[in-house]
Amino acid sequence: MQGEDSRLSMTRRDLLRLIGLSAGGAAMYAAMNRLGHAAESPYQGTPVLQGAPRGTTVLILGAGLAGMVAAYELRQAGYKVQVLEYNHRPGGRNWTLRGGDTYTELGGFTQHCRFDRGLYLNPGPWRIPYHHRGLLDYCKKLRIPLEPFVQINHNAYLHSAKAFGGKPQRFRAINADYRGHVAELLSKTTQQGKLDTQVTKEDQALLLDSLRRWGALDKNYAYVAGARASNRRGYDKEPGGGLSAKPTDSQPMQLHDVLRSHLWSGLNDGEGYEFQTTLLQPVGGMGRIGEAFGRQLEGLIRYNAKVTAIQQDEGGVTVSYEDARHPGAVHTAHADWCICTIPLSILAQIPMNVSTAMADAIGAVPYAASVKVGLQFKRRFWEEDEGIYGGITLTDLPINTIAYPSCDLNRPGKGVLLGAYLYGLDAYQFTAMNPDERVRRVVEYGSQIHSQYRQEFENGIAVAWHRAPFTLGCFATWSDELRAKHYENLCQIDGRIALAGEHASYLPAWQEGAVTSALDLITRIHQRVVAGGAA
């Protein structure tokens, strides 16, 4: 009996946690908003910058989205702008790897992307929420075509190596069975009159009706095999036409099995504010945005420029830099003002005479560990064999995520999956591997979900962000304590130097944070310039 009671107690705890999922999206958003990981964009259009003194110069460090947005708007306002960029390309973390591209990470490992024409991996950002209005506005201005990004696919998988013998389960089946069993339990509670003091009789009747519909319950408020449940979780034999048309209903999993699998933890993946429908992506890869900005700013960006020192005085800012490909000779650039968008993980290592408060802020913010791995396969087996068109499979294996391309749906030929999106300790472990080993491990893990991996795999590429020489990490990871102590100091104009980027926003890791940070900063710098100085 003790073991039985223990199992029952575990089930109750899990059940309470499950029921909490109905409010989980809001709760998770509130927590993320506190930490600065989710918030609605404040974008209300680009600022109107009028009255800039003729000949005022601005030096921008970094041609990521923050730097290029600043350069684009300041040039429009009449400022003389120059941009120094470490990479040989624009975009920063706005980046797409395509066939023929070469990437060298710290440690000297060079990867040659061998994807077929038209196939790609976004190592950095890969989706745009509908409410990131600043980024969407620039996509419209720069005429970058967008297409839907599929976040939730009911036919994708939820997988645990410890549940159901390691067999992946369709999202729709776990979703239907979780909702069905919880709806049945709540309907029993309602029918037993246990809500009399909280809900009126009229509302109880409405609640019962809503639970029956929400959970696909039968007329007796039971979640059982039948047409209602199969219409949610799928059929053992699909309905069709002719003499063999009659479908066969599928059998729901038992509540105990659903609870113990812990697969329900993936059901709210699309509920967080940043992941709600509709999400978008540029046609041809996220890097199309950086590339379009780069064309607009042609002649203003000096590529392969590695900043080595930043010094300011009352007359302006002088930046020392060298050729990233051939270090040695030191060059300098001077301007009245400097907007620095270099990631803090890099900037903390560059000599710069700013206030102690800003210097402390720059050195205080850690960067997240993340690894992305793209895999090319001989055919799009996830569509042809399993009917998965876009969306994401979640797993408790170290690879964490398999994302299916939202583009070129139902086309014949090869395809590229995001075979892994690792975080935390798993990301650190994979970062310590060489790129070939990362790809090999991802194929090995992914084969536990898709048996076709071994036969269909052709080539892959792996980007470990802590080995990226231009970021040394994926994105800034603020905490409540760090924000309270350092955020305002980080965002201040310090003499003639100021910082912008996703790290200087309440939208870290999102491109919208970089865009809105840049617009906020250039507005404040312009006001100071028009007012007459750096005081």
Mark whether 373 and 453 lie in a shared domain.
Answer: yes
Mark whether 462 and 385 lie in a shared domain.
Answer: yes
Which domain range does residue 232 map to? 171-261
Q: How far is CA 227 from CA 233, 234, 255, 462, 494, in A?
A: 10, 10, 19, 45, 66
Q: Is residue 271 part of a domain?
A: no
Mark whether 459 and 484 lie in a shared domain.
Answer: no
**Hey, how many other C-beta atoms are within 10 angstroms of the C-beta on 109?**
16
Q: Is residue 4 part of a domain?
A: no
Q: Which residues of the chain have pLDDT under 50?
A: 1-37
Of 302, 368, 352, 364, the C-alpha closest to 498 is: 352
Task: Look at residue 409 in the predicted model and tell me its pLDDT.
Answer: 98
Mark whether 489 and 526 lie in a shared domain.
Answer: yes
Domains held by the chain: number: 3
In angstroms and rounded to an integer, the radius of gyration of the C-alpha atoms of the chain is: 26
| CA geometry: angle 82, 88, 90, nearest 5 deg | 60
Q: How far is CA 506 from CA 159, 195, 367, 512, in A?
A: 32, 41, 15, 10
Mark whether 335 and 482 lie in a shared domain.
Answer: yes
Cβ–Cβ under 8 Å, residues 62 and 262: no
Mark whether 240 and 350 lie in a shared domain.
Answer: no
d(CA 255, CA 15): 9
The single-letter code of the amino acid at 11 is: T
DSSP bridge partners of 129:
279
Question: Backbone dihedral region of 78: left (phi > 0), alpha (psi from -120 to 50 degrees) or beta?
Answer: left
Mark whether 456 and 379 lie in a shared domain.
Answer: yes
Q: Is residue 31 part of a domain?
A: no
Of 355, 312, 315, the C-alpha closest to 533 is: 315
**Hey, how many other C-beta atoms are within 10 angstroms of the C-beta on 455?**
11
Using a 10 angstrom Cβ sphere, with 0-12 exposed, 13-18 middle and 19 or more buried, the burial of residue 396 is: middle
What is the model's pTM? 0.90
CA dihedral (211, 215, 216, 221) positive or negative = negative
**Hey, how many other C-beta atoms are within 10 angstroms of the C-beta on 360?**
14
DSSP bridge partners of 499:
340
Mark whether 377 and 462 lie in a shared domain.
Answer: yes
For residue range 290-306, what is the model confidence (pLDDT) as tens digits? 999 999 999 999 999 99
Q: Is residue 162 part of a domain?
A: no
Mark whether 498 and 461 lie in a shared domain.
Answer: no
Residue 305 makes CB contacts below 8 A (sequence gap 6+) with 84, 85, 86, 321, 322, 323, 324, 331
Of 448, 467, 486, which residue constitutes the final position of a domain?
Answer: 467
Mark whether 136 and 181 lie in a shared domain.
Answer: no
Mark whether 482 and 360 lie in a shared domain.
Answer: yes
Residue with tokens 């999202």: 171
Residue with tokens 């799009």: 380
